[in-house]
Structure 1
Amino acid sequence: MNRTADAAMDRDKLPPLNALRHFEAVARHGSFAAAATGLHVTHWAVGKQIRLLEDWFGLPLFERRSRGVVLTDEGTALLNDVSSAFERLGTAAARLRHHPFTRRVSGIVRVNVLASFALCWLLPRLADFEARYPDIEVRVSTTSRKLRYIGDAFDIGVRSGPEQGAGVVSRTLMPDLRLPACSPALLRQHPIRSVADLRGQTLLHSATTRTAWAHWLREAGAPDLRAARHVEFDHVNLQLAAAVEGLGVALASLPLIERDIAAGRLVCPIVAPTWRAADYALVINADRAGDDAVNAFEQWITMMARGEAVPVDAR
């Protein structure tokens, strides 16, 4: 038997739900007339639903009296179960209705992130946010300036490392773990099986990550290693693009190259040690912390950062 048939059989076991709603109202008010007023229906309609329910059970649920009605023993037992069920249903409905991923939220969110984070991490995922929140307009800008110096020109942002200061609230978004990464074509031409094999390679740098290789080589136990060549770019995204094109080996932020690894554009030939740079931090304009649209974006980006594993063993 399929699920549809099973569901139909389960529904057949339930009494008429609208009649249960009328039953609960009559029991609560103690009369058909008061229940009719509360439900915005006629006295006759309430009586009809109660008769329908009593016919379904095959027994009386109320004793009719001159000044109202009183529950029978069977009616009292039923009311306990119905009240509990309605209470659970109400709690579930309230939770779902106010959940940020189901409640209709509108507004504008100004998001300021590092250019590399925007290109490599945020933009490929942004369609998911827009699908969840079609009424929120996201305005993305990029800069490496401290967000506390931008003032009210942003609502929420991402930086490398936390920011402290008046007017901003900062917390960790996700760790920035880094490993050597290169194109599969380069690896085929110049195999890298250990840290020592980096001596014959071109190491790629960016203006903002000049010391990253030194940190990683120190943790790898080879602080004095001398590569064949060094090339520096002014932006991280250019450094990563150069690695994809086979120009050398980049010490890459794993969250930024996750999709390149999955697509086979980059590989990590050495999977240990991973150097942990300053964590990616979520920075919120304190004046906008209570805004529904900003809160929705904050919860969404946190979910995306925590919900996806980074595949590092991709040799």
Structure 2
Amino acid sequence: MDEDRSTEKDREKLPPLNALRNFEAVARHGSFAAAAADLHVTHWAVGKQIRLLEDWFGVPLFERRARSVALTDEGAALLNDVNSAFERLTSAAARLRHDEVTRRVSGIVRVNVLASFALCWLLPRLADFHARYPDIDVRISTTSRKLRYIGDAFDIGVRSGHEQGTALVSRALMADVRLPACSPALLRTHPIQDVADLRHHTLLHSTSTRTAWSHWLREARAPHLRPARHLEFDHAYLQLAAAVEGLGVTLASLPMIGRELAAGRLVCPIAAPSWRAADYTLVINADRAGDDAVQAFEQWITMMASRESGQLEPV
């Protein structure tokens, strides 16, 4: 019992481990934006973790510069210890993971997702899965149809909102948090400091997100706001591409624009209110749930989504 109490007290002395991971990435890249791209999160999320760590230690760890950051003396000392700890942890993980066993998993997994999810979230991360499971053949198809109507033509899928069916296993994958987003260049001519400033801009829509702006504007207590114009596309990924090109302001799903935020191609000029749409849901064909390749993909996509959980809100 005394040993358990001692272990709990030792854990209380540890700084936030996720914040340490963000700290190491920023130190390695010398930039919040580059670290965010490496970690597949927003640069706001990285900044939040660094502030959390600096508050925990009570000292600044970085000197903020115009386009980069540099370690303070305290940060440099911490980095040496963090690198040593990560190296030991990596060695221990390698001994326990038995990569040769993981690499022997083979087979085919048929993945059916929304086109916007495939282009904006899945494809940028798929190389990681291939590196872990080089003998699994991933076959991706895209459609917005309910998966219960596809029958046995898929093994695992992702949809917006819960799906029901006798042969389906469905559970939440990650939250869909949305905020206005636009190109930084757009703000140079027409700044957005509050919700009312949207009246000077074009609001971007897609067929599948036609009502999203009205939901958000009600949350923002501006349900009657009239923008300069509306522009609609038939696919959400075209809507996001239009925002990057400076054609207007989109109400973006934050998980879908992580790379654009990290690279500075998009910014979220208004931090609140955020609107939470239906969760992204993982749907598994129950007849294929026991297949090794399907289980490997399920575990991988769950891990990748949970890695970003809690880091969606800009700070």
Pick the TM interval, shorter chain. Answer: 0.5 to 0.7
Q: Match for residue 217 of structure 2?
A: 217
Cα distance change on mapping 1:225 and 1:113 into 2, 3 Å: same
- Letter of the 1:105 partner, please give it: V
Going from structure 1 to structure 2, the CA distance change for 1:137 and 1:114 (only over 3 Å counts) comes to same
Residue identity opposite 1:238 in structure 2? L
Q: Residue deviations 1:247-291, cap 9 Å, x none?
A: 000000000001000011000000111100000000000000011
Where 2:208 maps in the other structure, the secondary structure is coil
The letter of the residue matching 2:118 is A
**Secondary structure in structure 2 of the residue aligned to 1:225:** coil
Residue 94 of structure 1: how far off its partner (Å): 11
Counterpart Cα distance in 2 of 1:272 and 1:137: 42
TM-score (norm 2): 0.67
Q: Work out whether residues 195 and 222 of structure 1, in 8 Å CA contact, stay in contact via their aligned partners in 2.
A: yes
Question: In structure 1, what residue type is equivalent to 2:282?
Answer: L
| Paired letter, 1:276 | R
Q: How many residues align?
A: 222
SS of the residue corresponding to residue 162 of structure 2 reads coil
- Greater RCO (CA < 8 Å, at least 6 residues apart): 2
Task: Note the C-alpha offset of 1:188.
Answer: 1.2
Q: Which has the larger radius of gyration?
A: 1
Quick one: which amino acid aligns to residue 279 of structure 2?
D
Deviation at 1:193, TM superposition (A): 0.3
CA RMSD of aligned residues (A): 2.0
1:307 aligns with 2:299: no
| Alignment partner of 1:132 is 2:156 | no
Structure 1 residue 187, shift from structure 2 partner: 1.1
Identify the residue that residue 120 of structure 2 maps to in structure 1.
120
Matched residue SS, 1:269? coil
- Measured in 2, the distance between the counterparts of 1:274 and 1:94 equals 43
Shift of 1:166: 1.2
**What's the counterpart of residue 150 of structure 2?**
150
Equivalent in the alignment of 1:187 = 187
SS at match of 2:102: coil
Matched-pair identity in %: 78
**In 1, distance between residues paired with 2:94 and 2:188?**
57
CA distance in 2, matches of 1:303, 1:101: 19
Q: Is the 8 A contact 2:103 2:135 kept in 1?
A: no
Shift in alpha-carbon separation, 1:100–1:138, aligned structure 2, 3 A: farther
Ranges in structure 1 where 5+ consecutive residues have no aligned partner: 1-91
Would the aligned equivalents of 1:205 and 1:233 in 2 still touch at CA under 8 Å?
Answer: yes
Q: Is the 8 A contact 2:191 2:197 kept in 1?
A: yes
**TM-score (normalizing by structure 1):** 0.67
Whole-angstrom CA distance in 2 between matches of 1:93 and 1:131: 15
Is the Cα–Cα contact under 8 Å of residues 180 and 249 in structure 1 kept in the other structure?
yes
Separation in 2, partners of 1:101, 1:227? 57
Q: Shift in Å at residue 113 of structure 1?
A: 0.2
**Structure-2 separation of matches of 1:245 and 1:212:** 21
